[in-house]
Amino acid sequence: MEISLTAGSTLASTMRLNPSSQALSAQPISEDQKSAFSNATPAAIYHPSEAAQALTQTTSTQPMVVVNTYGRPQSADFPAMAKLHQGAFYGLKSAFEEFKSALESTFPDLAEKKFGFTIEADGKLKALNPAGELSLTDMDQLDKLLNASSTLIGAADTYRDVSIDLVAADGNWGGSYLGDYQLDENNFASTIDLAALFIPKTTTLNPEAMAGWFSHQLWSKGELATKETHAAIMASRDVAREAQEKAAAKAAAAAETAKA
């Protein structure tokens, strides 16, 4: 049989069908039909294998495991924090280059040795010996010279504070991969070597320079955030937001008063 799909044989989608005047009524089932239905059997019977039965029993008897996830989203302030962090980076770079230039002029032998430095919780700078080239005398002398530079101390202090705010503003999902960590004044010195931030970059990938990047130092030496630290950061965000809202409302009220 041929089926034509031409427009001439296709019923219009708007065609209306006339309702039938014949009423529908249920027809009773005969005794023979009832007997046939009761004796009917399935066409196939599934017999699970022993392995399938064992898997079903194991799955049904295993306790349900509840997985709790926690963390924090990236703050709306993160882009602004990133700009502040970049500015603090260049401010610290300028102060460190000035310090190295003075060190080369006054203590050239010491300046030739590889050293690092960081800032401790009390705000003092501390010399680091990443390559093992410094003696105890060298370390003591560097500590004194570093802390004699008020410019370097101020730049390091600013960079630390902005770095802490940057990490706190990031999220552990949908962010810049900093929000999994907890950075504060107490663990900053054990996490970030400030001198390593300025290892010269080359045209090719330099493993030493990459290891000195802020993010890489945080990932390799940073302290992972906990449920409690995430909650504390979220609470501090709420406090800051409420303070901003109150300040904005106060400024708006003052503006309205001035107009009146």
Find all residues with CB under 8 Å of 125, minimum gap 6, and list them: 117, 118, 119, 143, 146, 147, 152, 153, 156
pLDDT in the model for residue 26:
62
Length of the chain: 260
Q: How confident is the model at residue 10 (pLDDT cuts 50, 70, 90)?
A: very low
pLDDT at 9: 46
How far apart CA 163 and CA 178 sit, in angstroms, is 10
pLDDT surpasses 60 at 35? yes
Q: Is the pTM of this model over 0.85?
A: no
Assess whether pLDDT exceeds 70 at residue 4.
Answer: no
